[in-house]
Amino acid sequence: MKEINAENLVLKYFKGVDEENISSVLDTLTEDCVFSIETHGIKLVGHDEITSMFKRLWKNHASVEHKDFYFVKDAMKNQVAVRFQVINILHNDQIISKSNCNFFTLKDGIFSEVRVYMAGENTLNKEN
């Protein structure tokens, strides 16, 4: 059985987010993935709710970029944590920089759970 490279899967996920490619993002998530923004008390379940969240993110920003990744893996529990920098550019050209952490849980080679710890304002709004 081929070992899943969790870091590469995380990078594929964020590349999809940065390129506004929902298909690429969803390719990394189970159909029933639980996506939570722990710092803001938000929980989404499944591709439909997650898709709506990302469409709002992209609509509300001129661009988003995730970079400077630092990984910590727990192969025994099929989990990976990643600390990274976020650069969001608003439609008025304002730049918002953040330092965030995400915790990903693997199931069957893709993510079944994503837990987000976000500095500052919630840019992954559940509702608009």
Average pLDDT over residues 53-80: 91
Average pLDDT over residues 18-27: 97
Take residue 22 and report the two structure tokens written for it: 């929902």
CATH 3.40.50.970 for the 6-117 domain, yes or no? no
Instruction: State the pLDDT at residue 23.
Output: 97
Instruction: State the pLDDT at residue 125.
Output: 61
Average per-residue pLDDT for the chain: 90
* Amino acid identity, position 30: T
User: What sections of the chain are H helices per DSSP?
Assistant: 6-18, 22-26, 46-60
Average pLDDT over residues 95-123: 90
User: What are the boundaries of each domain within the chain?
Assistant: 6-117
Burial of 46 (C-beta count, 10 Å sphere; 0-12/13-18/19+):
middle
pLDDT(63) > 60: yes
Take residue 86 and report the two structure tokens written for it: 């976020």
- List, as one string, the DSSP characters of 9-26: HHHHHHHHHHTT-HHHHH
Of 42 and 125, the structure prediction assigns the larger pLDDT to 42
pLDDT(119) > 60: yes
Instruction: State the pLDDT at residue 123.
Output: 66
Q: What b/e string do you get for 77-106 counting C-beta neighbours within 10 Å, with b at 16 or more?
A: ebbbbbebebebeeeeeeeeeeebbbbbbb
CB 78 within 8 A of CB 105: yes
Instruction: State the pLDDT at residue 1.
Output: 35
